[in-house]
Amino acid sequence: MAKFVSVEEAVALIPDGASIMFGGFMGCGSAHKFIDALSKSGKKDLTVISNDASMPGGPLGEEFYGIAKLVHNRQIKKLIATHVGLNPEVATQSMQEGTLEVVLIPQGSMAEMIRAGGSGLGGVLTPTGVGTIVEDNPYCLGKQTINGREYLLIAPLRADFAVIAGYKIDKAGNVWYKGNTSNFNIVMATAADTVIAEAEVVVEIGEIAPEDVRTPGVFVDYVVEGGKYNG
Amino acid sequence: MDRSEIKSFIAKRVAKELKDGDVVNLGIGLPTLVPNYLPEDVHIILQSENGIIGTDTVTEENKDPVHVVDAGGSPSAIAPGGAFIDSSVSFGMIRGGHVDATVLGGLEVDEEGSLANWIIPGKRMPGMGGAMDLLVGAKNVIVAMEHTAKGNPKILKKCRLPYTAVKCITIIVTEMGVIKVTDQGLVLTEYNPEFTIEEIQAATEATLIISPDLKPMV
């Protein structure tokens, strides 16, 4: 059963050097209150798995949006992502200063690697990346030909923590996502040893219809109430 | 034509490749201009790989930049009849052949129909995002780009930059012409009458096969 904790208690769970999956796409669907608290915590040497590095300049005038705060505070040692081009600090830290290791993975492959990691599969066979430098990626385990078509065998991906964000979360930890915030949150909730879910609104059991639950509460270990996000 | 006119010209021609009911994913930049040029009776469903099937124009009324964004992270909206999906379903849709066409730009393309558009080693490494999946999975891959970069050919015998995907392109649309990728090579099927065929070939490193049915771009 999901345990309800404060943002500070949830951040205290994270040790230096932890690997953390963050849901969200350019900050949309990220656990903003948790990330803000983590960015002020001084935790360091994190391995972050996320679609992107978000960006400076959020939609509501934020100076740094989502995990761009963690990049800016230099808390990330290794970033596994699909696209980092909208956060110029990543290029500075990785290419000029050499303080941040970046591993780039195709977006669809990352989603399936995490899904595999969370659903007991030994890997993913995908045609994406065949003939490209993705073949040299540390997660690419080889190539197979099936029915005449070439596929890359890609390793599953898990993390110590997944930090996801839903709009409504009920007292059983069931998550309902608003708009297109579900993105990577759904697969990430299945693929970490400890899952922390941030709600904008916590609701009573029954207020989310069972058929509208997209991340069942059984996947969620901790819930924090972030409040409606308004920048 | 200035650069803005070139982009509109290319987008207008790309629009003719799309059919009523097509599910289409548009890359950032020039491709986003394409829907402006669709005939009134052609309605397409725009897919955004971060989880929208059926994007709509953002208005003051429907704007929710915290919860609905496009694949570039900018505010987006959903059209009536649309659906929000998660990343795994979205890319299952893309790789699984459920997207009819993708339109995207290119840094380099080559005679085999391969595309490079995601990295300049040592200089820029923004990441491939969803491009590699889209190129492998979309039924039609339409490259919409200026024919040259600072006067240098972008349509090469072989890409020199790292590939985004190999042997993936269906058609290339530039301000000079329309080029189809075939097993025999690159076939020029339409040309912009502002240029001679010789000028188009001179701006192209790859050898162009001139279609017997060559016609002007309109």
- The answer to whether B112 faces chain A, any CB pair under 8 Å, is no
Q: What is the mean pLDDT of residues B168-185?
A: 98
pLDDT exceeds 80 at position B198? yes
Within 8 A of A86 by CB-CB distance, chain B residues are 72-73, 126
pLDDT exceeds 80 at position B48? yes
Pick the CATH number of A3-105+156-225 from 3.30.1330.10, 2.60.120.280, 3.40.1080.10, 3.40.718.10: 3.40.1080.10
Pick the CATH number of B3-216 from 3.40.1080.10, 3.30.70.3040, 3.40.50.720, 3.90.1170.50: 3.40.1080.10
Other C-beta atoms lying within 10 Å of the C-beta of residue B94: 25
Question: What's the pTM value of the predicted model, to 2 decimals?
Answer: 0.97
Domain boundaries for CATH 3.40.1080.10 within chain A: 3-105+156-225
Handedness of CA A168, A213, A115, A184 (dihedral sign): negative
Which entry of B49, B108, B111, B190 is annotated as an active-site residue? B49
Confidence of residue A1 (pLDDT cuts 50, 70, 90): confident
Question: How confident is the model over B81-100, as pLDDT tens digits?
Answer: 999 999 999 999 999 999 99
Which of A111, A126, A128 comes nearest B88 by C-beta? A111
Q: ipTM for the complex?
A: 0.97
Question: How confident is the model over A159-203, as pLDDT tens digits?
Answer: 999 999 999 999 999 999 999 999 999 999 999 999 999 999 999
Minimal Cα–Cα distance from A231 to chain B, Å?
Answer: 9
Question: How confident is the model over A73-110, as pLDDT tens digits?
Answer: 999 999 999 999 999 999 999 999 999 999 999 999 99
Taking an 8 Å cut-off on Cβ atoms, the answer to whether B162 and A26 are in contact is: no
Q: What is the mean pLDDT of residues B63-68?
A: 97
Supply the pLDDT for residue A151: 98
Classified as helix, coil or strand, B19 is coil
Confidence of residue B125 (pLDDT cuts 50, 70, 90): confident
| Cβ proximity of A23 and A29 under 8 Å | yes
pLDDT exceeds 80 at position A217? yes
Q: What is the mean pLDDT of residues B120-129?
A: 92
How would DSSP label each residue in A136-172? GSTTEEEEEEETTEEEEEE----EEEEEEEEEEEETT
